[in-house]
Each structure stands twice: as C-alpha cells, then as structure tokens.
Amino acid sequence: MYVTPAQLADRPGARELAQVATRERDAIVADDLMEATLRATDRSAWSADQIAIADDALTRITQAIADADGTIDGFLAKRYPVPLSPVPSVVVNWSRAITRYNLHKDRISGEANDPILRDYRDALKLLQLTADGKFSLGADDPVLADAGDAEVQFTGDGRVFRRDASRGYP
C-alpha cells in the first residue's frame, strides 16, 4: 500500500472521505467516526450500525487505494521492481492523488479548475516521465541506490613490453 488510510485522514481528511466513500443509501459517516476508522482507534462510542457503515466506507477507500497502487505499479514496473519498498514520498503523493480521484470520479465538475482532476493528471504525467527515465523518485530512487553500489573496475590487455623480451634493444 503506497498510501495508508491514516495518511488519507491527514489529507484530504476524514470529512471528505466520509462524504465520497459512504454509500448513497446510508447516512454519511460522522467525521469523528470516520477519523477513528481511518486511524484504527477506539470506536466504542458509536453504535454497531454506525461502525458497520464506517467499515463499509473504509472498504471502498481501501479498494480505491488498491486501484491506485495498480496504476502506479503499471507505470513503474517498466523500470523498478514493484511494489516499491521503502515507498518514496513522491509515490505516496501520487497514490493519494489517484486514490482521491478514484473516489471522486463520478462527480460532476468543471475540468478547468478542478484540483482533484489536476492532481490526478499531474500524477499520471509524472508516472509516465518516471517510467521513461526522465524523472527520478528522489533520494529513495532504487535505480539511483543501485548505481551507487556499483564497483568501478579497469581492465586492459597484458603488457606490450616486458624486460625479458626487450634485451636486444638499447
């Protein structure tokens, strides 16, 4: 998992996730319950029905994360062994943007000023550049790490002139 539910609780936040991940037939999960569900903390203050709805929303969020991971792996498998471990922070941001888009993709909005769509497209663009070798994952880039471990060796042909072969020459 390139982004965790707890990281999504930080950004975009429990309120937005509750609004987009709760099924239409259910009441939207309360912000504090969604926060507790995303962070896997105590939820004993809520009823079993409320917790079940929050768990269902978490399942939808987890599926959106898995879909985002598949998209990321599809791009990065050209150059890296996937899944990446450790996960570079730039990949966490891409996963967050793609996950958020996956949860919001049925909404209607103007494309010109939609930050969710913009972040999604930017993530895909950077993933393509990374797959093409034109963008680095940063300090955690496995390709750069492997290149630093490479050993440089020089080899050459044997000696052309040896002492015993040049005795007749001054």
Domain extent listing, the chain: 5-142
Q: Are 84 and 51 in contact (CB under 8 A)?
A: no
Q: Is the pLDDT of residue 90 over 80?
A: yes
Question: Which tokens go with 107?
Answer: 């909404």
Question: What's the whole-number mean pLDDT along residues 118-127?
Answer: 96
Higher per-residue confidence, 113 vs 100: 100
At residue 170, the pLDDT reads 59
Question: Which tokens go with 38?
Answer: 């995303």
Q: Are 75 and 7 in contact (CB under 8 A)?
A: no
At residue 77, the pLDDT reads 95
User: Own/partner pairs for 56-60, CB < 8 Å, 24+ apart?
Assistant: 56/22, 56/23, 56/26, 57/17, 57/18, 57/21, 57/22, 57/23, 57/29, 58/5, 58/21, 60/21, 60/23, 60/103
Give 164's pLDDT tier (boundaries 50, 70, 90).
low
Question: What's the whole-number mean pLDDT along residues 68-87?
Answer: 95
pTM of the complete model: 0.81
* Percent of the chain at pLDDT exceeding 90: 73
Give 99's pLDDT tier (boundaries 50, 70, 90).
very high
Give 154's pLDDT tier (boundaries 50, 70, 90).
low
Residue with tokens 């955690």: 140
What type of residue sits at position 27?
A
**C-alpha angle with apex 58: 55 to 62, nearest 5 degrees?**
140
Chain centroid, CA 28 distance in Å: 27
Cis check: omega of the bond before 12, within 30 degrees of 0: yes
